[in-house]
Structure 1
Amino acid sequence: MVETFILNTDPLDSKELFEQLLEQVDDTRKEKILKLRTFTKQKQSLGAGLLIKKYVGDVHSLNKNGKPKNNDTEFNISHSGKYVVLTKGGTEPVGVDIELMQRGNKHIAPRFFTLDECVQIDRSYDPDKTFTQIWTLKEAFLKCIGSGVGKDLKRFTIHIDDEKIRIDNRINRNFYYFKEYDVSGYKLSVCSEDNRFAETLEDVTDEIFKLEETK
C-alpha cells in the first residue's frame, strides 16, 4: 500500500511551537533547518523531519542524487508553500511532488516539456493548471526512479486523457502508476510501481502538532 500524508506548516508560525518541535528532530536535521535563509523553508524542513520521524524512522543513507533511503521503507518527501507531504510504500520505490499553482507558467513549458505535453497545455481550458499537473506528474516519476529533480524531463511524456494518466517512458522498461490527490490551490501527484494507492490523502497536521489537545 502506498500512503501519502500531508502537513500544514502554518502552526509553526508560533515561535514557541517551532522551538519546541525543533528539539525533537535529530542534530543533522536541526543543523540543516537553522542554516536555511527563510522561515518558510525552515518550517518546511522541520515539517519534513517530523513526518520522517513519525512515519519512516531512521534514514540510513542517500542515493547518488540525494534521495533519502530507509532499509525497510521506501519513501519520498515534497514541499511547496505551506504544505509538506510524505509518501511511503513497502519495497517498491515511490515519488511525490506538490506544487502551488501559479499563473503565467505556460510560456516556459517548451523549455522543460515534450512537444506532446506542450500541445496538451495549449489545448487546455486552464493552461496554468495543466502545466502544474504535468509538472508534478513528471517530478513524481523522476523522484520515484531516483533521478535528480529536473533531469531527463524530455525523455518521457505524460499523457492525460479524460483524467486517465499514462506515461511514454523512454528511460527504462518498468511500468509505473500515478495517483493524484486534491489540495486546494495545489497539485499533488504520486508515482510508484505499486498500484495499491490509498484512496484518500491523510491530513496529519493535528496529530503531528498535537493541536487537538489545545482546542
Structure 2
Amino acid sequence: MKGTQMKIAAVYIDEFNLNDELFRLSMDVISEERAHRVEKLHFAEDKIRSILGELLVRINLNENWGIENRYIQFEFNEFGKPQLKNHPQLHFNISHSGRWVVAVIDKCPIGLDVEQMKPIDLGIAERFFAPTEKQYILCQPPERSLTGFYQIWTLKESYIKAVGRGLSIPLDSFSFELTKDRIFLSDSTSEEEWFFKIYEDLSGYVLAICSAQPNITDKVYRFSLAELQSKIIQLYDE
C-alpha cells in the first residue's frame, strides 16, 4: 500500500448535470448500495453529490493508496458510519454542501464537515453552543460573525463524524475554544485526544477536519467535474 498520509480531495460542481454516459459509468463504478440510494433520490443535485462523494473516496484509495477499485467495499458500524471492508487500517469521511463535495482518507479515525455559509439566524447558537462558543461568535467583527458560527458548527460536525457514534452525541455535550494558534476541545465524556483544522479557502464555505493524529495536511486537492471524468473512466476500465 503506497499511501502514507492524509489526503483531502474536493470537487467543485460547476453545473449540476452529468451527461448520460458519465452518469452510467459512475453508477457502474460505485457500490450497489450507493446506486440504490441514488436511484431513490428525487433531486438531481442530491444524486450528483451522493455519487461524487463515493467516487472521490474510490479515486483517492486507488491513486494514493494503491487499492484497485474492484477491491473497494464498504460496511457500516452499529451507528451507521461507513467504513472500508478488508482495510480496517484506513479511515475515510465524506461531506458535501452547495457546490462542493469533499472526502478525506487517513490511517486514523477522521471526520470532516463542509458548510456553505448561507445567512442564518445566529440565535441557533443559543440552542446548541456552549457559552464559550457563543462568546467567540459575539467577539467576531460584524463581517466575521457568520464565519465564526460556521467554524464552530463544522468543528462540532467533524468531531461527531470522527467519533462515529452519530446523533448519540448531542451538540451541546462538548465545546470548542478557538485561539490564534490552536483549537481546544472540551468533552467530559471522552479521554481521547483529538486534533482540528479549519479551512476557509473554499470561497463562501467553511471546512473543518477532526483527526486522531496531529499531522493534519494543509492542502486540499481540488478538481472540476471535467477533471474528474478521466479518473472515473480509469476506475471503470480496471
* Partners of 2:45 and 2:169 in 1: CA distance: 25
Match of 1:200 in 2: 219
Q: Which of the numbers 87, 93, 99 marks the counterpart of 2:104? A: 87
Counterpart residue type for residue 147 of structure 1: R
The residue that corresponds to 1:63 in the other structure is 77
| 2:38 corresponds to 1:33 | yes
Show the 5 A alignment for 1:1-215.
Answer: 1-16=5-20, 17-56=22-61, 58-70=72-84, 71-90=88-107, 92-125=108-141, 126-149=144-167, 151-162=169-180, 164-181=182-199, 182-205=201-224, 206-210=226-230
Distance 2:24 2:192 in 1: 44
Offset, 1:131: 0.5
CA 1:10–1:35 in 2, change beyond 3 Å: closer, same or farther? farther
TM-score, normalised to structure 1, is: 0.89
The whole-number CA distance in structure 2 between the counterparts of 1:127 and 1:103 is 11
**1:30 Cα deviation (Å)?**
1.2
Conservation of the 8 A alpha-carbon contact between 1:3 and 1:197: no
Give 4+ residue runs of structure 1 displaced > 3 Å after superposition.
204-207
Q: Which runs of 5+ in 1 are unaligned?
A: none
Q: Is the 8 A contact 1:143 1:149 kept in 2?
A: no
TM-score, length-normalised on structure 2? 0.81
Structure 1 stretch 173-182 or stretch 54-63: which is displaced more? 54-63
Q: Distance in 2 between matches of 1:161 and 1:149?
A: 27
CA contact (8 A) 1:132 1:187 kept: yes
Q: CA RMSD in A?
A: 2.1
Identity %: 28
Q: Is the 8 A contact 2:12 2:101 kept in 1?
A: yes
Corresponding residue for 2:236? none
AA partner of residue 209 (structure 1): Q
Distance 2:186 2:82 in 1: 27
Report deviation, 1:37. Answer: 1.7
Q: Which moved more, 1:55-64 or 1:79-88?
A: 55-64
Q: Paired residues, what number?
A: 211
